[in-house]
């Protein structure tokens, strides 16, 4: 790759550098650059050429460099640890390693490694960015004050068990879901409170409320509004949790349970987050998609609820036989021994589907699309189970 990138740096200093890999040595043009770090503490410039983005920034000083180097190192270590547990999702883009310096310039190259490998990774990177901003606005200490005065949580697991023994069918977690990256908009006239109330009337044991805005068109306001509207069903906050801060936030916004995704979280995070959930009175629904994730989660103490997602969040492929596969043999035995409630998640549309996952061993199901699309989502529940399960 030969070439010369011409960059214009605010405020009005331009220079040229070679974009030859791998060193990106700056070839200062004949221009004499009268630059000193202290003059320009934080200037960045980007130029995209040939699918390659070269980011050039001028750094403020030594201390900041050292901190950044440390952060980068920690990030690398976390990714390695996660990879050793089979986790392919990287927590944040591996950008800005403090690799290449030339005088006051620092270089990094945006190549394949800085592009999310799949939709789940993209969502997680976006979430990492969102959470870091939210945390600045509402630090954990301020959330803790709210929690002291928050009303008690409701028994999510108890509600599922009660529904199961009342109907003889899996307890239903009905999902308030406006859209998804794989299916687009599911319901145009979307009134979260109306849908939640219809679900409750239709016999749902619990509700799941998506709070991700960018990819699922959900929100924490929806969760709060449903809670404040007097809905009695316990509520699952359907979020992509990567930081314990989100669990505290969900608790304040009215959640009784929260989702933890094993494809994203290493064991240590799951252990730590499950403890935080217990402390806050929340149930943790730990979601798995394959045998390796199931085995990891079964090795963690104190887990009461496991969700088996029939949808692969990396490819969007749905296969309800996944629930059966993961409950066969020793795994199923261990789950029964530990008295864990398993939730069959995604892709359930008909009474046959429900019967199939129940036969496989689930005591609860999590359903969105097939019921949220019905003009009356409450009646949709009757259609899903093949009979009226309202009280």
Distance CA 308, CA 19 (A): 47
Asked if residue 121 binds ligand IGP (CB under 6 A), the reply is: no
Binding residue (CB under 6 A) for ligand IGP from 192, 254, 368, 378: 368
Distance CA 321, CA 92 (A): 32
Stretch that binds ligand IGP, among 13-21, 270-278, 362-370, 377-385 (CB under 6 A): 362-370
- Binders of ligand IGP among 292-351, rule CB under 6 A? 309, 345-348
State the first-to-last Cα distance of the chain, in angstroms, to the nearest integer. Answer: 69
Between 108 and 198, name the residue whose CB sits nearer to ligand IGP: 198
Distance CA 289, CA 313 (A): 9
Between 57 and 370, name the residue whose CB sits nearer to ligand IGP: 370
Contacts of 112 (CB under 8 A, 6+ apart): none
Residue 196, SS3 per DSSP = helix
- Binders of ligand IGP among 80-109, rule CB under 6 A? none
Cβ burial of 262 (10 Å; 0-12, 13-18, 19+) is buried
Between 114 and 312, name the residue whose CB sits nearer to ligand IGP: 312
Query: Tokens in use for 98?
Result: 């403090």
Between 224 and 369, name the residue whose CB sits nearer to ligand IGP: 369
Binding residue (CB under 6 A) for ligand IGP from 19, 224, 243, 287: 287
What does the angle CA 322 – CA 274 – CA 75 come to, to the nearest 5 degrees? 85
User: For the window 150-189, what string marks contact with ligand IGP as x by the rule CB under 6 A?
Assistant: -------------------------x-x------------
Binding residue (CB under 6 A) for ligand IGP from 367, 381, 384, 389: 367
Contacts of 114 (CB under 8 A, 6+ apart): 53, 93, 94, 95
Q: How far is the CB of 324 from ligand IGP (least distance, A)?
A: 16
Distance CA 158, CA 9 (A): 60
User: Could you list the residues that contact ligand IGP (CB under 6 A)?
Assistant: 175, 177, 238, 287, 309, 345-348, 366-370
């Amino acid at each position: 790759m030969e070439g010369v990138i011409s960059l214009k740096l605010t405020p009005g200093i331009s220079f040229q550098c070679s974009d030859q890999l791998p060193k990106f040595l700056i070839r200062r043009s004949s221009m004499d650059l009268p630059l000193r770090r202290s003059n320009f503490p934080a200037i960045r410039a980007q130029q995209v050429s040939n699918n390659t983005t070269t980011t050039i920034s001028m750094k403020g000083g030594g201390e900041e460099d050292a901190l950044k180097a440390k952060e980068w190192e920690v990030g690398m270590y976390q990714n390695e640890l996660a990879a050793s547990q089979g986790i392919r999702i990287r927590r944040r883009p591996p950008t800005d390693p403090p690799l290449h310096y030339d005088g006051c310039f620092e270089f990094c190259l945006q190549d394949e490694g800085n592009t999310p490998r799949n939709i789940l990774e993209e969502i997680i990177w976006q979430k990492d960015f969102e959470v870091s901003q939210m945390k600045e606005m509402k630090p954990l200490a301020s959330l803790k004050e709210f929690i002291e005065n928050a009303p008690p949580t409701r028994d999510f697991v108890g509600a599922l068990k009660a529904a199961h023994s009342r109907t003889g069918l899996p307890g239903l977690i009905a999902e308030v879901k406006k859209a998804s990256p794989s299916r687009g908009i599911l319901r145009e006239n979307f009134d979260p409170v109306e849908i939640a109330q219809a679900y409750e009337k239709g016999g749902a044991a619990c509700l799941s409320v998506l709070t991700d805005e960018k990819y699922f068109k959900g929100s924490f306001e929806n969760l709060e509004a449903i809670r404040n509207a007097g809905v009695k069903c316990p509520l699952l906050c359907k979020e992509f949790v990567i930081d314990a801060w989100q669990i505290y936030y969900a608790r304040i916004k009215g959640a009784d349970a929260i989702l933890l995704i094993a494809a994203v979280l290493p064991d240590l995070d799951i252990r730590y987050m499950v403890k935080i959930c217990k402390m806050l009175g929340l149930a943790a629904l730990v979601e798995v998609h394959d045998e390796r994730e199931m085995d990891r989660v079964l090795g963690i103490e104190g887990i009461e609820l496991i969700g088996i997602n029939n949808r692969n969040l990396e490819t969007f492929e749905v296969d309800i036989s996944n629930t059966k596969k993961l409950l066969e043999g020793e795994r199923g035995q261990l789950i029964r021994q530990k008295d864990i409630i398993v939730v069959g998640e995604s892709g359930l549309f008909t009474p046959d589907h429900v019967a199939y996952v129940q036969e496989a061993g689930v005591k609860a199901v999590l359903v969105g699309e097939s019921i949220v699309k019905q003009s009356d989502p409450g009646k949709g529940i009757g259609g899903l189970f093949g009979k009226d399960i309202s009280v």
